[in-house]
Amino acid sequence: MSSPVSYEFEDEISLADLFELLRKYAPLVLLTAAFAAALAYVVSAREPKVYRATAKVIVSFEGAGRAASDGVIEPPPLDLSTYREVARSPEVLEQALGRPLDPKALAEALDRYRIDTMEGRRSGVLLLRVEAEAPDQAAAAANRWAEALLAWERERALGTIQRQKKALRAQLAALEGELANLDPTSERYLSLGLLKAQIQQKYDQLEVLEAGTQPRLHLLEPARPPAGSVRPRPLLNATLAAALTGFLTLFLALLKEAVSPYLRDPEEAARLSGLPVLAEFPRLPPRPGVELPHETALFLKTGLKPALMADDPSIVLVTSTVEGEGKTSVALALARTLAQEGKPTLLVDADLRVPALQERLRLPQGPGLLQALSTLEDTARQIAPNLYVITCSAPPHDAAEILGQYFKGWVRFLAESRAYRYVVIDSAPLLPVVDTLALAPHATALLLVASEGKTSKKNLTTAVGILQNIGVRPTGLVMNRVRNPSTVFVGGYGYGYGYGNGKRKRRIRA
């Protein structure tokens, strides 16, 4: 086995990686965005139309404190925030609506009656906006609201004077009635006549003050029926729904990638296991007979070469965490590549629980691994130049016991016979059964196969820990079904399927 080596990985997210994620989830994002846009458009188009009309009222801040000698008397100025609260008060709204309002009706009115402000140095503008289901209704309601606010301001400016005038008119009427019943020459008549003249004088003074008093609010522009509705806006709603749904879908997809329990890419597998990635086999189409690319197997052989110099024969054990991660395909691809060196290579199906090589290679039944282990015979069959295979056609019930009892002696037999330079063993997965633990100590190199998007992160770290507990350190990882592999350049080569070069950056320091 190769000596322990410390590896440190530094990952960099490139634009190519980001583009690959976006390309992967683009159909889902577009589909959900289109559905959301269509739904929003249909729902919005069925909603009743709402129209908004605006009446503009100007507020004067100048002239505070001007006396009657100036010819104009104005009430003390109020700021725009005060007028805003007055306009939304129950008193003004009830006058605008022409009916009393309970708390629920007041809340509904405040939802339809809204006010904005524009403030300057010498004046400000109140924008009284009212929403209704018809243009004429909206304009009429906004104008009534403006009239109610102007009436409140007139009451504030002239209310005291008008109340005083009303009281004086009552006094004058009472005096006139009493004087009509008195003798014009009596002393009582003369005194009441003098009092009436004084009250009349006060009344005339109040009329002068009233004529010179100006409110601080004036109607700047009455509301007019709007040309179009403000709600609903189907196109805008559809656009917003598509954008928000697309963004949310993409966010959730990226979050899923970030928190997924499965390996996302080779860099993550290397970081979690502490092992180098010797090869990255691409994701192939699900067609029978499609084999892993020969060029990637060459990368794998190159990475294994330093370890294979130690023994003759060199035994390469290929395993995985669980079933279905592609270890058999990797073992077959590696064996074919090693055989092309012109040196005898033996491929062994040691997955006694679920043997697959005989069916994969379409071989008839014949002497297999069980006979070879028990009799120390060479039961291999040649399937290609320099490539031989030992299959297993009848899975035994006590696989672990058989391997533990006979495998060491069989390895010694292979070494003494010197019939093969390389022995590639397809073994059982590590976590479901213990079969591979009986083989691992006798291997020159051990390859752990992991599958992108399928191998659990926890399973990977558990498998590495199990091997380390028995004193075996895997030589490296082989990543299978990689979406964007960096160690394959296939442009045909008889596979009928092409893959690009993923520019994934990784630096390894021994």
Burial class (CB in 10 A: 0-12, 13-18, 19+), 187: exposed
pLDDT digits (tens, 9 = 90+) for 193-238: 889 899 888 888 878 777 767 788 899 999 999 999 998 889 999 9
Output the pLDDT for position 50.
94
| Integer Cα distance of 89 and 424 in angstroms | 88
493: left (phi over 0), alpha (psi -120 to 50) or beta: left
Please state the rounded mean pLDDT for residues 392-406. 90
Say whether pLDDT at 350 is over 90.
yes
Name which residue leads in pLDDT, 69 or 331. Answer: 331
Name which residue leads in pLDDT, 432 or 505. Answer: 432
On average, the pLDDT of the chain sits at 86
Residue 182 banded pLDDT, cuts 50, 70, 90: confident
141 and 222 Cβ atoms separated by less than 8 Å = no
Name which residue leads in pLDDT, 238 or 494. Answer: 238
Most confident segment among 1-5, 117-121, 192-196, 240-244: 240-244
Residue 423 banded pLDDT, cuts 50, 70, 90: very high
pLDDT digits (tens, 9 = 90+) for 20-32: 778 878 999 999 9
What is the DSSP code (8-state) at residue 232? -
Output the pLDDT for position 479.
95
Output the pLDDT for position 495.
36
Buried b (16+ CB within 10 A) or exposed e, 239-251: eebbeebbeebbe
Residue 17 banded pLDDT, cuts 50, 70, 90: low
Q: Is the dihedral of CA 327, 20, 26, 493 positive or negative?
A: negative
Most confident segment among 78-82, 308-312, 428-432: 428-432
pLDDT > 90: percent of the chain: 61
Kind of pairing, strands 345-350 and 422-427?
A: parallel
Please name each of the domains of the chain with its CATH number.
Answer: 51-221 (no CATH), 263-509 (3.40.50.300)
Q: Which of 11-25, 337-351, 429-443 shows the lowest mean pLDDT across its residues?
A: 11-25
| Integer Cα distance of 502 and 16 in angstroms | 7
